[in-house]
Amino acid sequence: MTPDAAAWDALRLSLWVAVWATVLAIPLALWVAWLLARRDFWGKSLLNAAVHLPLVLPPVVTGYLLLMAFGRNAPLGRALESIGLQLAFHWSGAVLAAMIMGFPLMVRAMRLAIEAVDPKLEEAAASLGASRQSVFGRVTLPLILPGVLAGTVMGFAKAMGEFGATITFVANIPGQTQTLPSAIWSALQIPGGEGQAVVMVLMASAVAVSAVLLSEMLARRVAARIAGT
């Protein structure tokens, strides 16, 4: 049994969407993780709850909320469409859905890595004349880099597997918005489609397992690095 063209299309789209979602989410996730780890401000627990919301909400609810906000008839959706950015029923919407669903996992991993860095090292760097940006770039970031990469891999894996929010927000249009999970689901609806479903399940599993293994490896390195060995 070999993958048919639709399976390859779905894999390609999933990888494309997941890469975009991850790359766009990294800076924001890093900033939010730093805020949660290092700053005290009003509404911190609110931000924390908001970040984690997609983890606890049924994905279909997240998808529905996205549709409410960015649908073609919603004010925000209409505003974006007027500048040429359509999200609903478009692969860019799948990027947004995947970003939101993977975000809590990325923030979590990065926050843990930042919290493992002794703030005294950052104080020492500042005492030597490094500005807050330099301290982050030269001390904090190198020390948390493995954690950032681990969080990125987790976010990527989540983006690859995202189904509920994606299918609700951007539907399941083959070749346009049909990601690998959506394609598997579609194959299972067609009599005799189990064969292709199994092939795509193997594809998805291979990507997911590699992502988790990579993430584990990087997590071990963060510990070793901060211990200074």
Partner 1 sequence: MTLSLSVSHRFAEFALDITLEAGPGITALFGRSGAGKTTVINAVGGLLRPDAGRIAVDGDVLVDTKRGIFVPPHKRRLGTVFQDARLFPHLNVAQNLMFGARYAPKGSEGPALSDVISLLGLEGLQTRAPATLSGGQKQRVALGRALLSHPRMLLMDEPLASLDGPRKQEILPFLERLRDGPLGLPILYVSHAVDEIARLADRLVLIQNGQIQAQGPLFEVMSNPAAVPLLGVREAGAVIEADVIAHGADGISTLRISAGEIELPGVQAPIGARVRLRVLAQDVILSLTRPEGLSSVNVLPVQIEDIHPGDGPGAAIALRAGTDRLLARVTARAVAELGLSKGTQCFAILKATTVAPGSIGR
Q: What residues line the site for partner 1 (CB under 8 A)?
A: 118, 120-121, 123-132, 134-135, 138-139, 142-143, 225-229
Contact 148, 136 (CB under 8 A): no
Distance CA 106, CA 158 (A): 10
Give min distance, CB of 224 to partner 1, in A.
10
What is the rounded radius of gyration, in angstroms, for the C-alpha atoms of the chain? 20
Give min distance, CB of 213 to partner 1, in A.
24
Give min distance, CB of 176 to partner 1, in A.
45
Give min distance, CB of 132 to partner 1, in A.
8
Task: Record the tokens describing residue 187, joined without a space.
Answer: 């194959």
> For 17, what's the count of Cα atoms within 13 Å in the CB-facing half-sphere?
36
Q: Which is nearer to partner 1, 52 or 221 (CB)?
A: 221
Residues 6+ apart with CB under 8 A from 59: 101, 162, 163, 164, 165, 168
Q: Which is nearer to partner 1, 160 or 222 (CB)?
A: 222
Distance CA 190, CA 15 (A): 24
Give min distance, CB of 36 to partner 1, in A.
22
Give min distance, CB of 126 to partner 1, in A.
4
Q: Which is nearer to partner 1, 45 or 127 (CB)?
A: 127
Task: Record the tokens describing residue 197, joined without a space.
Answer: 């479903």
Contact 142, 197 (CB under 8 A): no
Q: Which is nearer to partner 1, 19 or 226 (CB)?
A: 226
Distance CA 104, CA 82 (A): 30
Residues 6+ apart with CB under 8 A from 70: 76, 77, 80, 87, 88, 93, 96, 169
Q: Which is nearer to partner 1, 135 or 157 (CB)?
A: 135
Q: Which is nearer to partner 1, 52 or 225 (CB)?
A: 225
Q: Which is nearer to partner 1, 118 or 216 (CB)?
A: 118
Give min distance, CB of 149 to partner 1, in A.
15
- Residue 130 phi, psi dihedral angles, 5° rounding: -85, 130
